[in-house]
Structure 1
Amino acid sequence: MHESLTSPSWRVALPHTTAAVPVARALVRTALAERRHAADSDTAELLTAELVANAVEHTSGNTPIELVVELLPTGCQVEVHDGDPAPPGDLTRPTLDPPDPWQEHGRGLLLIRALSSSCGHRLTGTGKAVWFRLSAVPRQRRPA
């Protein structure tokens, strides 16, 4: 049996509201479980929630945001598309000062940088896509 040259992927429009966060988490969990994928589902859900929450909080308007999940042989990649071309803070550059522990915000991009194998953003025809990639977890290290 030959596998297709393209990786399985899901592309879903989500509302530009905080209600999109749990929906996005569930979609990522389902995509990884459905394919019995080797990427860590808990980490993928957490980082997806951060990307979606950032897109909702830091972009204006009510244009839907879009979640793209791609399962790769070496892991998975998750992208969140929004209509604002402005880059997402210091996603790929470490900040000099740690976030204030008393502030509610400011840790999302830090988490994405720390827990993903790579992350970044790119311009799209309608705004930007912010993404992260997780490497597959070796079988012997996965919980039973």
Structure 2
Amino acid sequence: MNGPALYERSSAPASWRVALPHSTAAVPVARALVRTALTEQDHSADRDTAELLTAELVANAVEHTCAGTPIELVVRLLPNGCRVEVHDGDPEPPGDLTRPSPGMPDPWQEHGRGLLLLRTLSSSCGHRPTESGKAVWFHLSPLPRQRRPHS
């Protein structure tokens, strides 16, 4: 799984799994995959929000895991929304995704807002252990028809 991104569309019509490089180059690759998946399938989840939250999860995986460990993006387009997971090799759970941390992030700091964005903008989010580490995920509900952007 090290090396260039491997694009693999699964046999299910709305599911993708991609091995990402363990570098900042993974972020634009992941954003592009999510946007392409939502656009090609004409899915009703908010593309901008999906891209933003995916970028946060991938950036966190790159920053907080050991170099060389695999990172994988899983995108599932479901009738009730979009689910994105980022798998990494670190079994340590991320900060609390279900409750706000005490205090607000420092507005002058470069880091510290990713989990806040995830909790605020997603319909739900969390993490789960995997055989090789963990998966951090979010779910976006479909947008109401009148709020969907025109392609």
Q: TM-score, normalised by structure 1?
A: 0.93
- Shift in Å at residue 15 of structure 1? 0.5
Is 2:24 the partner of 1:18?
Answer: yes
2:117 aligned to which of 105, 108, 111:
111
Is 2:57 the partner of 1:32?
Answer: no
Structure 1: state its 5+ residue gaps: 1-5
Is 2:88 the partner of 1:79?
Answer: no
- CA deviation profile, 1:4-31 (whole Å, cap 9, x unmatched): xx66100000001000000000000000
The answer (yes or no) to whether the contact 1:7–1:72 under 8 Å persists in 2 is: no
2:132 aligned to which of 96, 121, 126:
126
Paired with 2:13 and 2:81, the residues of 1 have a C-alpha distance of 11
Q: Percent identity?
A: 79
Query: What is the SS of the residue equivalent to 2:67?
Result: coil
Structure 2: state its 5+ residue gaps: 1-11
Is 2:141 the partner of 1:135?
Answer: yes
Is 2:103 the partner of 1:94?
Answer: no
Paired with 2:129 and 2:111, the residues of 1 have a C-alpha distance of 25
Q: TM-score, normalised by structure 2?
A: 0.89
Deviation beyond 6 Å, 4+ runs, structure 1 = none
Moved more, 106-115 or 92-101: 92-101
Query: What is the SS of the residue equivalent to 1:66?
Result: strand
Q: Which has the higher contact order (CA 8 A, sep 6+)?
A: 1
Provide the aligned length of Structure 1 versus Structure 2: 139
Amino acid at match of 1:133: H
Paired with 1:51 and 1:93, the residues of 2 have a C-alpha distance of 17
* Root-mean-square deviation over aligned CA pairs: 1.0
Paired with 1:92 and 1:55, the residues of 2 have a C-alpha distance of 18
